[in-house]
Every structure is written in C-alpha cells, then in structure tokens.
A and B are shown apart, each in its own frame.
Chain A
Amino acid sequence: MSAKRQWALVCVAVVALVAALVGCTHLFTGSRVPTLLLGEVTITADRGQILLSAKNMPDGGLASVAVTLGGIIYDVAKIDNVSVEGLSGFEVPAQQFAGGNGGFVLVHPSAGLPAGAFAKITFDATGDPTLADFAFSKGDISLADDSYHAVSFQLQDEYAYYAK
C-alpha cells in the first residue's frame, strides 16, 4: 500500500472516530445540577466518618452551609459523640449535636468551592452504623455561593463516586 493511501486511511479513520463520538454525544448527558453528596459511612476502629461533598456549585462555588438543629437526625444507639470538621478551608462557627439531633454552620472565609469535599462528620460508632442511620432533611439545609446567593440543590446519597 502506498504511503499516500496509508495517510488517507489514517485520516478517514480519525474523522470517522470523531464523527462517531460526536454523533453519540446525545446519548451521554451528565447532570449539571448543584448537588450535595453524602458519602457512605466508613469506620476505622470504632470511629465513623461521613464525607460531605459539593458538585456543580455556581457563581464561584459553595461558600457557606447551614443546617438547622434537627436537620440531621441519627440513631443514638449506634452513634455518639458527633462532631463536624471543615475541609478545604471551611470553618465551623457553630455546631450542635445532642440527643440524636444535629445542626451546624460552615463558612469559607475567602472563596467558594466549585466541587469537592468540604466537611466530614465524625462519630463514635457502636455496632455497624450506615448512612441509613442518619436522616438528612433537605428542607433544613441551606447553601449559599460565593456571591451570597442561595443555591437550589439536590441531596444525593446514591453515588459512591463523583467527578470533579
């Protein structure tokens, strides 16, 4: 086969591959809705942890989170000594966990987080608690972006992985 034919074949293959990929694009549409993701409980020794992550946050990213007291309900028979810790530079000006009810405020002092983990809830685990032993009430959770605008979001706990 001559060199010209080889190059022609390579060009045709490349164009066909691109066309096929572009043509199939309508089959793949990822979600762009601002999302608060709850990670599954991980337990090491007797200390449990839940990671809270944000994704698709608009206008400079997630800058503050407020969960009113009772916005998180947990099973006190399995979960005790709960606290929340900020990640990615988020600070925790207020938090309260008592009697199976919890709430907290998280604020980033200087910027917003477009996507990634922003907090972790840690607790003493008895037995084998899972995320099902926590109830997060979406109506009691408020998010704001870096421009101080409230963010309408979805609460998601079904995905073990996310892309950022």
Chain B
Amino acid sequence: MMRRRTSLAALAITAVVGLTVYAAGTLSGQSWCGVTLDPSVGFTCLDLGVDVSYTLGGVALGTDSLFLVPGLWVWQGFTASGYLGGFGIDGSLLLGGSPAAFLFAEAIASLSLSGIDFALHAAQLGAAVHGGPANGAAIRLAGSLGACDVVSTTEFGVQIEDEDFGGISIVHAATGRARHYLSDPRGANEGFTGQKVRVSHTGFCHGGEATATAYLRCGAFEYASLRLEDLSLANLAWLAVDAEFMLKVQSKSVIVSPKLVLGDSACLQLYAGPVPTASGTGVDSVRIYGLELTCEIGRVTLRDVTRFEPHEVGLTTEPYGSRLLLVREILAKGLDYYPDYWQLLSVSYGGEGCCDGTYGLLVNSYFDTASTTLFDWAMLHAEATVPLGDSISLGLGLEIGPVGVIHLQCSCTMEW
C-alpha cells in the first residue's frame, strides 16, 4: 500500500511539474535535411538534424545524424545548452552509428562575474576513436586590465581552441567526414599539462591590435609570439600592416602582410615574408606569396585572391573561408585546401528576403595553370540560400568543373 501511494505521489508530482513546465515555456526548434548528389555515381549522402529549443531558463537541446549511401550510419550527435543569468553550460555528445560506440563528449561551464569570464572545459574521447581513450579539463579566465585584455588558460590534459590551436576533429576514417569540437583531451598521465597567457591591446599604433602570447607545456617552453594587426602610420592612412613574430625553442619566424586600404570599400592585401640568407642569420630578400583584393559595393562583395608561390601558400576551401595561408599552417591546423588553383574570383551577395528571412548567393571561380580551358578556368563553386516562407528556406550547392557537374547539394531547413 505504501509503495502504491509513493508511486501515485511521484506520478502526480511528475504530471504537475510537466504541466507547469509545458504551460510556462514554449517549444520551438529547427529541423533540416541535406542531400548530396555526385552525378557520376548518384545519391551519396544524407544529413538529418533537429534542434529543439525550450525557452524556460534558456534551455536548448539538439540532435543530428549523418547517413551515407548505401546504408552507412556515420554518427549521431547530441547538443544541450542552458543559461541562467551569468552562468551557462554547453554540452555535446557524439556517438558512432555503425558500429555503435561512444566517440566524444564535451562540457563547457561558463560564468561571468565582475568583468571576469570563467570557463571550465571538460572533455572525454572514447576508446573507439584512435587516439583515445583520453580525457581532461582546462580552465580559461578572461578579463581586462586597463586597456589590455588578458586570457589565461590552464590545461589539465585538455587544449582549448584559439588562434594558435585548432581544437579537435573526430574523423570517420572511411569517408573523411569530420566533426569539430573546441576541447581536445590529450590524455597524459600528469595532471597539469600547460599554461598559456595571452595579452592583447587594441588601439595600438593608430587603431591596430597587438597580441602577445606565451605558452609553456608541462616540461618545457613551447612558444612565444607577438601578433600585430592593422598597424598604420599617421601619414600613411592607405597602408596597414599585419605582422607575426614567432619564437620557438629551435626556430624563429617573421610573417609580414602589408595591406593597401583603398577607401572604405576596397582593400588590397599583400602576403609576403623575408627570405633568410644561406647561413640563416640574416634576411636576403622579401618574397611575395600572394595578393588579395576585396571590394564591397553595397550588398555585393568582390574578391580576387592570387597566389604566386604554389608550394608555400595555399587557398583554403570555402568552408574554411577561401583564405590564402601558408601550406605548413594549413596542414598543421587540419584545414582543407586546393593545392592546384592559383587564383580565385569571388562574388557574394546577400540581403533580407521575404518573410523576415535572409537570402545569400556566393559564386567562386577557380583557375589552374594545368587547366586547358579558357583563361585556365578550373572549377566553379556556387552556394545559394533562398527563404520560401516564414519557416522554410532552401539551400543549394553546386560545383562544376571542365568535365561537368562535380557535386550537387540540396538542403531544406524548417523552423517550427
């Protein structure tokens, strides 16, 4: 009898809490599906996802899936986030589909208090992933001291993504598909594994930004760097310079990138670096690696990126921003790039569409010296997002090469 009363009471409490929560909060979300077609072989990939947001207390839940044809369930991802005042927590969980396995979990607890942002990152990598099992934590503190912003990261087996470190990607070995997360557990036996301190100052040298970083690993000095961005002189408003000085135990490097600021809407950026003498102790000359011209006219942005040193710099793919970066940096950060294309011409256009939606169009045209087509044209990459109504938008992706369509992607996003 006692057990029955307890069960009834528990049921009643659950019902009351559930109804209260249902009445107090609102349920909304977003679902999407994406289909990838390779014209040479047909239907190849299906992305499915749903994000559920519950407004009570700012809680949001989400899950997404990736299936490849024929019948390969790559993984199932789950996300949860909640905020209450200055306190927030974000969690991610990734499970393998076939074979079923725990792959990765990450939790980030953050707290803002009196101008100091505190974040605790905890992550765990599953044994089914090569490189695992591993786990650890890191504490990040960010605040301001006068005109300087200071970020301190104390690592207990986890490295956190920042400008120098690219986080962690879980890669499906058979297909190369990857999921990215901020916290990389390194799984060492020791507790404390590293300390990074970054001090940045804006308004440096006529509006520029200077950032100094020092990174110590558990047993040794890792690197120290000084990064200067958008430096300009009072009498040379049309010239701005980005520079990076990097000191490691056995090497040092300098990268200088001058930019010509051609008014408010246009900018010409030069990628260049010093060439050391044979002895390695001096500078022999300055080599120009590439050139980028950006021009904004209303809602239209035009870009021309050209590289002159194909083995030194590479053009990243569109998901990584179509940027010109050193090949060494691209590979170290695990980015994708086009090793063959020497020039990119890009046009993008975006604005407010119907029904409070936004539309966007991006067309990138790539050129390759090995191509035999007119002007060395090698590939066209196009993306478009079109809102169809209050809650539905369509996405289209297309890649065309000299031999025809390489890749076609269609997606549909519904908000409810």
- Show the binding face of A for B, using Cβ within 8 Å: 10, 14, 17-18, 21-31, 35, 37-45, 47, 50-51, 53, 55-56, 60-61, 87-89, 108-117, 156, 159-164
Knowing A21-B122, A21-B156, A28-B124, the reply to whether A159 touches B137 (Cβ < 8 A) is no
Complexed CA–CA distance, A22 and B68 (Å) = 38
Complexed CA–CA distance, A53 and B130 (Å) = 11
Whether the Cβ atoms of A14 and B172 lie closer than 8 Å is no
B305 interface contact, C-beta 8 A: no
**Counting chain B CB atoms within 10 Å of each CB, which of A27, A111, A161 scores highest?**
A161
Whether the Cβ atoms of B41 and A47 lie closer than 8 Å is yes
Knowing A18-B139, A89-B339, the reply to whether A28 touches B171 (Cβ < 8 A) is no
Residues on the B chain within 8 Å of A111, using CB = 327-328, 330-331
Knowing A29-B189, A35-B130, the reply to whether A42 touches B312 (Cβ < 8 A) is no
Whether the Cβ atoms of A160 and B96 lie closer than 8 Å is yes
B125 interface contact, C-beta 8 A: yes
Complexed CA–CA distance, A60 and B58 (Å) = 44
Complexed CA–CA distance, A87 and B338 (Å) = 10
- Show the binding face of B for A, using Cβ within 8 Å: 38, 40-42, 44, 68-70, 72, 96, 99, 101, 103-104, 109, 111, 120, 122, 124-125, 128-137, 139, 156-157, 168-176, 178, 184-192, 311-312, 314, 327-328, 330-332, 334, 336-337, 339
Complexed CA–CA distance, A25 and B192 (Å) = 10
Once A and B bind, how many residue pairs between them come within 8 Å at the CB atom?
179
Quote the shortest CB–CB distance from A3 to chain B (angstroms): 12
Residues on the B chain within 8 Å of A117, using CB = 171, 176
Knowing A25-B156, A31-B131, A117-B176, the reply to whether A161 touches B170 (Cβ < 8 A) is yes
Whether the Cβ atoms of A28 and B134 lie closer than 8 Å is yes
Chain A residue nearest in CB terms to B126:
A161
Residues on the A chain within 8 Å of B44, using CB = 44
Whether the Cβ atoms of B124 and A22 lie closer than 8 Å is no
Chain B residue nearest in CB terms to A60:
B328
Whether the Cβ atoms of B332 and A26 lie closer than 8 Å is no
Complexed CA–CA distance, A17 and B69 (Å) = 42
Chain A residue nearest in CB terms to B133:
A28
Whether the Cβ atoms of B128 and A110 lie closer than 8 Å is no
Complexed CA–CA distance, A45 and B41 (Å) = 5
Residues on the A chain within 8 Å of B173, using CB = 37-40, 51, 53, 159-162
Whether the Cβ atoms of A26 and B171 lie closer than 8 Å is no
Whether the Cβ atoms of B331 and A88 lie closer than 8 Å is yes
Complexed CA–CA distance, A113 and B337 (Å) = 13
Chain B residue nearest in CB terms to A156:
B130
Whether the Cβ atoms of B130 and A31 lie closer than 8 Å is yes
Whether the Cβ atoms of A116 and B157 lie closer than 8 Å is no
Chain A residue nearest in CB terms to B131:
A163
Complexed CA–CA distance, A60 and B334 (Å) = 13
Quote the shortest CB–CB distance from A48 to chain B (angstroms): 11
Quote the shortest CB–CB distance from B298 to chain A (angstroms): 37
Quote the shortest CB–CB distance from B375 to chain A (angstroms): 24
Whether the Cβ atoms of A39 and B169 lie closer than 8 Å is no
Whether the Cβ atoms of A163 and B168 lie closer than 8 Å is yes
What would be 21 A-B contacts, judged by CB atoms less than 8 Å apart? A22-B192, A28-B135, A29-B188, A44-B42, A44-B70, A45-B41, A53-B171, A53-B173, A55-B130, A88-B331, A88-B337, A110-B311, A110-B327, A114-B331, A114-B334, A160-B174, A161-B96, A162-B129, A163-B104, A163-B129, A163-B168
